[in-house]
Amino acid sequence: MNNVTKITVIEDNEAVKDGLALIIGSQQRFRVVNTYTNCMDALKNLRKDAPELVLIDLELPGMHGIEGIKRILRERSSTTILVISVHEDSKLVFEALCAGASGYLTKDTDHIRLLNAIDEVLTGGAPMSSKIASLVVKSFQRNLNSPLSDRETDVLTLLAKGKTYHSIADELFISVETVKTHIRNIYQKLHVTNKTEALKKAVKDKLI
């Protein structure tokens, strides 16, 4: 078995692209098989390059990096994807991770950290720059100042799973009427009038 890891780089800024290739190529354990400035070219040669790891930027001309990630994984699901982007806004971060990226670095990552991150992601880790990790962790945390009572939160949580009043009642060992009361109170507290709005607000404010 060959223990050199084949890597491709997709980055539209030529200088950055070549810089990355140089840093990675300086290591005997890595081999940069190709570099691209857009996703289309990278996808065309995906089979031929057969990279174990793809280092990808997100804001790319033509196909966006997020779409690129999806297509790469559709073609070669064994490929590991590591994002390097200037963006630290949560939407893009989550889209990239949902699309299948295994790690997310910001572009201020220095050489040593970059190489460490590559090693880490190749051994099953998920390297993330500090701010990114923080965003990700925060996404799990509930709003601690919820206006809802514990029981109301229970009900809303089950409602969000598509349960009917009846099954919620069964699950919480209360009557359907009580469920209705809770839901009415929830609607009042959230200033909404129906399930859809309530769930939208609940998701937005991380109440459940």
Partner DNA sequence: CAAAAAACACCATTTTGGGGGGATGCGCCG
Partner DNA sequence: CGGCGCATCCCCCCAAAATGGTGTTTTTTG
Binding residues for DNA, rule: CB under 7 A, are 149-152, 164-166, 172, 174-175, 177-178, 180-185, 187, 193-195
C-beta separation of 127 from 112 below 8 A: no
And the tokens for 99? 């699309």
And the tokens for 2? 């060959």
| In the complex, minimum distance from the CB of residue 167 to a copy of itself, in angstroms, rounded to a whole number | 6
C-beta separation of 139 from 198 below 8 A: no
Q: Which does 26 bind (CB under 5 to 8 A by kind): a copy of itself, DNA, none?
A: none
> Long-range contacts of range 200-203, CB-CB < 8 Å, 24 or more positions apart?
202/156, 202/160, 203/160
Q: Which does 63 bind (CB under 5 to 8 A by kind): a copy of itself, DNA, none?
A: none
71 vs 195, beta carbon nearer DNA: 195
Is 115 a binding residue for a copy of itself by CB under 8 A? The answer is no
Is 127 a binding residue for a copy of itself by CB under 8 A? The answer is yes
From the DSSP assignment, how many helices (H) and strands (E) are in the chain?
11, 5
Cα dihedral sign for 169, 173, 178, 182?
negative
Q: How many residues does the chain have?
A: 208
Query: How far apart, in whole angstroms, are the C-alpha atoms of residue 83 and residue 206?
Result: 27
Is 77 a binding residue for a copy of itself by CB under 8 A? The answer is yes
Is 173 a binding residue for a copy of itself by CB under 8 A? The answer is no
Is 198 a binding residue for a copy of itself by CB under 8 A? The answer is yes
Q: How many CB atoms are located within 10 Å of the residue 30 CB?
A: 21
Binding segment toward a copy of itself, per CB under 8 A, in 11-19, 28-36, 107-115, 162-170:
162-170
6 vs 195, beta carbon nearer DNA: 195
C-beta separation of 208 from 157 below 8 A: yes
Residues binding a copy of itself (CB under 8 A): 73-74, 77, 94, 97-98, 100-103, 120, 123-128, 130-131, 133-134, 136-138, 140-142, 144, 159-164, 167, 195-196, 198-200, 203
